A and B are shown apart, each in its own frame.
Chain A
Amino acid sequence: MKAENPELPVETMELQMGPSHPATHGTIKFNLKLEGEKVLACDVEVGFLHRGFDKSCEQATWTQVIPYTDRLNYASSLINNVGYAMAVEKLIGAQTPPRCQYIRVIISELARIFDHLTCCGMAASELGAITVGFYMIEARELIMRIVENLTGARLTVTYVRIGGVKHDLPEGFADHVTQTFKTIRQLLGDCERLLSRNRIFLDRMSGVGTISRETALSYCLTGPLLRGSGVNYDVRKAFPYLVYDQLDFEVPLGSKGDNYDRFLCRIREIEQSMKIVDQALEKLPVGPVWIDDPRFVLPEKEKVYGSIEGLMHHFKIIMDGIQVPPGETYFAVEGGNGELGFYVVSDGGGKPYRLRVRPPCFIAMGAFHEMIQGYMVADIIPTFGMVNMIGGECDR
């Protein structure tokens, strides 16, 4: 809601919101300049969770970086794993077997559902629709159980390896997923009934935080923020990786570029993701989940404990790291919040020379002042909620 011509004389006031505010999930500070309740200017301060991701990665071997990538966007750590592993594989020139590619698609989409449910559920509960928040958290918990069953961990999964995935899918995985999706569809239906005609929710989301198509492009936004403004750019469609070109799905687009469009984009993407997982489970081929290349793959445990060659092989990979040829490359996947790119530079050793992540929500925070300018202080909450800033990824 735009604040319109206040009758009373007002003077400009400065307000610092954050770094630890109960309604902003994530440590961030807004230095606001207000006229009454209207936001005249907003200066975003990020970096409270900066822990030197790039510098730490330069000290670790290529494989040791994978747990660090878990801690970027911890709501979709599986996508981070996939993106990093594929960037390194591109530098090596390795092609993973089809089963591995399908598994990676499935886990990426599960992580995307997880990410969107977190974002939408939190945003809804901050606007008072706490029931929706609980329903979505329940749906998220069901996804988390699948992930736990698959990887053994809930958030920091470290499931993907360079050249494959840690292990094959567990028994009964497809049934588990199908059952879960049935419940999630019901829960999402309930949420829609609670929200789609809810006046409070619509008033606070619709027409708030609007950003035009041109501005969104100029600010380098990606993901639901860009698609909410009507730009059809999804890395899965524009630069297909894995087996996305063999699967049938749509890219939901908004038209107005306000918070409600972003919310709808995310909800529809959850549906599309479920569709992708269903198709991928149906088409899932049998075969190995690792590339057949002993330079990058650990030997089987029987060989490690049973022969000196196996032991040496294991030791070399663990201690020296896998040897990646010199070069540099950029590889991007569609993360929960947008284009998640990895720029890797190798000087031929067992460690990355430089590893850069293109963090979608850091770039989105660069455009936040544009989204909120002219709106009210209270509008910061839904707008920030729909940006879905994750401190681990934004501040690295």
Chain B
Amino acid sequence: MSETSAELSHIREKLGPKVLDALQAQGDEVLCLDRGGLRASFLVLKEDGALGYDFLSDITAVDYWQKKEPRFEVVYQLVSLGKRRRLRVRVPVPESDPSVESLTPLWRGANFLEREVWDLFGIRFIDHPDLRRVLLYEEFQGFPLRKDYPVNLCQPRVPERKVEGTFVDERSHNKLLRLKKTLGIKI
């Protein structure tokens, strides 16, 4: 726990026990927040006059499968347009209940960003107005950016037509079948 900037100590003062950690790394200010009452914490970051992180730049997640507990981390990039500062907020999320509060009431742009995190990581956003898949299609099974999702597992939306004839190369097809068999996935 290394704390050097006045900004971070001010945040710690304001948010109290919700701050799990506050540090500076590679010139970035990083804040680890508890996911309980997340929207209220962000409201403080956004509205507090001394902080003024009024612009949400990005929402994403990282899967630390078998590396770290809790498994997921939702990462927010905030910008203070007036003060020209950046802040990164990391929120640990356990695998047993992958959900955090939605920020859509604070920033409407969070809508698409949260849908993407749900789509690719399977992290639910509570009170999100319209939590659907955005990049993938509704019938897609699993969450591809989780580390336990195999990279070469194909899920064609329309079943691939069987090719018959003399010059059919079955090697790649067989490899895929073997993979699906070992993983026990039925598509």
Bound Cα distance A219, B27 (Å): 27
User: Given A59-B151, A238-B84, A363-B109, are A93 and B26 also a contact pair (CB < 8 Å)?
Assistant: yes
Bound Cα distance A330, B57 (Å): 11
**Which residue of chain A has its CB nearest to the CB of B85?**
A239
Are A47 and B136 in contact, with the CB atoms below 8 A? yes
Chain A CB within 8 A of B7 CB: no
Interface residue SS majority, chain A: mixed
User: Given A233-B81, A341-B57, A366-B113, are A239 and B134 also a contact pair (CB < 8 Å)?
Assistant: no
Chain A CB within 8 A of B131 CB: no
Are B62 and A354 in contact, with the CB atoms below 8 A? yes
Chain B CB within 8 A of A55 CB: yes
Are B81 and A50 in contact, with the CB atoms below 8 A? no
Chain A interface residue bracket vs B? 35 or more
B60 to chain A, nearest CB (A): 4
B 41-66 contacts with A by CB, 8 A: 54-58, 60, 62-63
B 109-154 contacts with A by CB, 8 A: 109-113, 116, 120, 133-137, 144-145, 151
Are A219 and B57 in contact, with the CB atoms below 8 A? no
**Which residue of chain A has its CB nearest to the CB of B60?**
A356
Chain B CB within 8 A of A22 CB: no
Bound Cα distance A345, B91 (Å): 15
Are B62 and A363 in contact, with the CB atoms below 8 A? no
Are A47 and B135 in contact, with the CB atoms below 8 A? yes
A318 to chain B, nearest CB (A): 21
Give A184-226 as 1s and 0s: 1 = Cβ < 8 Å from B's Cβ atoms.
0000000000000000000000000000000101111110000
Bound Cα distance A203, B27 (Å): 48
Bound Cα distance A207, B133 (Å): 33
**Which residue of chain B has its CB nearest to the CB of A47?**
B135
Are B135 and A396 in contact, with the CB atoms below 8 A? yes
Chain B residues with Cβ below 8 Å from A54 are: 120, 145
Are A327 and B25 in contact, with the CB atoms below 8 A? yes
Residue count of chain B within 8 Å CB distance of chain A: 37
Bound Cα distance A370, B25 (Å): 38
User: Given A52-B144, A55-B151, A90-B26, are A358 and B77 also a contact pair (CB < 8 Å)?
Assistant: yes
Chain A residues with Cβ below 8 Å from B112 are: 362-363, 365-366
Chain B CB within 8 A of A377 CB: no
Chain B residues with Cβ below 8 Å from A345 are: 62
**Which residue of chain B has its CB nearest to the CB of A43?**
B130
Partner of A47, one of B75, B77, B84, B134: B134
Chain A CB within 8 A of B86 CB: yes
Chain A residues with Cβ below 8 Å from B26 are: 90-91, 93, 327, 329
Chain A residues with Cβ below 8 Å from B86 are: 239, 330
CB-defined A-B contacts under 8 Å, sample of 17: A46-B134, A47-B135, A52-B151, A55-B144, A59-B151, A218-B109, A220-B56, A220-B57, A222-B57, A233-B55, A327-B25, A329-B26, A343-B77, A345-B62, A347-B67, A363-B109, A367-B108
